[in-house]
Structure 1
Amino acid sequence: FSFSSSRSFFVSRASRSTGFEDPTELTAGAGYSAFFFLGVVTMLMFFVEASKHLLAAAMSPLTVAT
């Protein structure tokens, strides 16, 4: 996922549809990609935290047994 390529894509699409760069469509495209990126990062962080808790829960009986 590269931010610059998506931004240039939105710029070219805006200039093709209106004849000049539409700033509202450009900011909307940047906002959508940033929102998508934030969502992916949040999901990754959640999965890392969940796996840490699951790993700790799975390891606790072993540490108690030993």
Structure 2
Amino acid sequence: MTETDSSSSPTDRSFEETLNRLEDIVEQLEDDPPSLEKALDTYEEGVALANDCLSRLDKAEQRVSELSIDGK
């Protein structure tokens, strides 16, 4: 499991790095659950990362859509 620096902000990471960190969080919570407080903090980070990924995907989809319209 690759550990990405959790202190860097989501905007400093590429989409792939953000997704990898999110996968690490899911693995950690499933395989080696931490204390309740740590689990909540980790879950909160995961939700923020998931929202960031979804936002980036929405923007990418919009760009593809705009390019498709322009290409006609």
Cα distance, 1:45 vs structure 2: 0.4
Cα distance, 1:55 vs structure 2: 1.2
Structure whose alpha-carbon radius of gyration is higher: 1
Q: What TM-score do you get using the length of structure 2 for normalisation?
A: 0.51
Output the aligned Cα RMSD. Answer: 2.2
Q: What TM-score do you get using the length of structure 1 for normalisation?
A: 0.55
Instruction: Summarize the alignment of residues 52-63 of structure 1 with structure 2, pairs less than 5 Å apart.
Output: 52-56=68-72
The equivalent of 2:53 in structure 1 is 37
Which whole-Å CA distance do the structure 1 matches of 2:68 and 2:21 have between them?
34
Aligned residues: 46
The equivalent of 2:41 in structure 1 is 25
In structure 2, the gaps of 5 or more residues are: 1-15, 29-34
1:5 paired residue among 6, 21, 33: 21
In the TM superposition, what whole-angstrom CA distance separates every residue of 1:21-60 from its partner, at most 9, and x where no partner exists? 612111111001100000111100000000111111xxxx
In structure 1, the gaps of 5 or more residues are: 12-19, 57-66
Amino acid at match of 1:36: D
